[in-house]
Amino acid sequence: MLAIILAALTVGATTVGGIVALKSKDRFHLVLGLSAGLLLGLVAFDLLPEVFANATKMVNGKIAGVSLAFLAGFLVLHFIEEYFGGHEPADSDYEHDHSHYGNIAGGFGALAMAVHVFLDGIALGVAFHVSNKLGLAIFFALLVHAFSDGLNTVAMLKKTGHWSKAATYLLLLDAIARIGGAALGNSIHPSPGWLAIYLAFFSGIIIYIATSHILPEAHSNHPSRVTMLTTMAGVAVMFGVVTLL
């Protein structure tokens, strides 16, 4: 039940991110740099140690199943967003000529967003089966992720002139997917080996989000030196959070 309540709280973080995007002009890149550092720190200091501590499944006796799951998490989200559209960073220097900006308010874009948000919720529910420490650490990371989701999505819709009631629908979709995923994750009780597989898969998703969404936006049209310092600060903060928990 705790996981479901915390998932609902992350929806508020998405709303706050959207409000910041509406009110701010060019002042949130440092927050994004910090956000990326927090996510990278979560994977490095909490998720991956948990993953490899419980890794028991091997492929062909040579490759750890968690290694393949990590790669799959990264690539699955990449492919979904490449072919169906996704919430790319606003003002990114890396957007393509066939940008999917217009798709974010459409069916396929909404589906892409719902899939990865749903997986976020599952990770939160599953994490509490391991320990309250891991569950709270993932909740903290999801707050960061939800904030950047709201910020980037609203900023992108404003930039491209697609701001409409679609923003409200996206927030509702975000809420349903996160809470639904947390409810599912809370109801299943995987073995340690399969739990490690899923957490590795989730780690791949987090790395993809941090490196392909948050960091490109944080460094786009801004002095990179200060942003890099905030990213390092985010890593340091997550190190402290994991150590204290």
Nearest by Cα to 32 from 92, 96, 100, 117: 92
- Asked whether 193 and 57 are in contact (CB, 8 A), the reply is yes
Please determine, for residue 198, whether its predicted confidence score (pLDDT) is greater than 50: yes
Q: What are phi and psi of 85, to 5 degrees?
A: 95, 155
Mean pLDDT of 202-209: 86
Q: What are phi and psi of 46, to 5 degrees?
A: -125, -55
Q: How confident is the model at residue 74 (pLDDT cuts 50, 70, 90)?
A: very high
Residue 240, both tokens: 């402290």
Between 11 and 245, the more confident residue is: 11
With a pLDDT cut of 90, the percent of the chain lying above it is 4
Between 214 and 132, the more confident residue is: 132
Query: 71-75, 110-114, 142-146, 150-154: which has the highest mean pLDDT?
Result: 71-75
- Asked whether 214 and 222 are in contact (CB, 8 A), the reply is no
Mean pLDDT of 170-195: 82
DSSP 3-state of 63: strand
Count CB atoms within 10 A of the CB of residue 208: 18
Mean pLDDT of 148-155: 67
Q: How confident is the model at residue 70 (pLDDT cuts 50, 70, 90)?
A: very high
Q: What are phi and psi of 221, to 5 degrees?
A: 60, 30
Q: At what angle do helices 166-187 and 107-130 cross, to 10 degrees?
A: 30
- Asked whether 105 and 162 are in contact (CB, 8 A), the reply is yes
- Asked whether 84 and 109 are in contact (CB, 8 A), the reply is yes
What pLDDT does residue 93 have?
A: 46
What pLDDT does residue 205 have?
A: 85
Residue 189, both tokens: 């009780």
Rounded distance between C-alpha atoms, residue 80 and residue 72, angstroms: 12
With a pLDDT cut of 70, the percent of the chain lying above it is 71
pLDDT digit string, tens, across residues 32-57: 787 788 888 888 988 888 888 888 88
Q: Which of 27-31, 115-119, 200-204 has the lowest mean pLDDT?
A: 27-31
What pLDDT does residue 117 have?
A: 80
What pLDDT does residue 71 have?
A: 94
- Asked whether 61 and 93 are in contact (CB, 8 A), the reply is no
Mean pLDDT of 70-90: 73
What pLDDT does residue 164 have?
A: 58
Q: What are phi and psi of 58, to 5 degrees?
A: -120, 155
* Residue 225 burial by Cβ neighbours in a 10 Å radius (0-12, 13-18, 19+): exposed
Between 12 and 165, the more confident residue is: 12
Residue 83, both tokens: 């072919």
Between 32 and 136, the more confident residue is: 136
Q: Which of 96-110, 186-200, 203-217 has the lowest mean pLDDT?
A: 96-110
Please determine, for residue 212, whether its predicted confidence score (pLDDT) is greater than 90: no
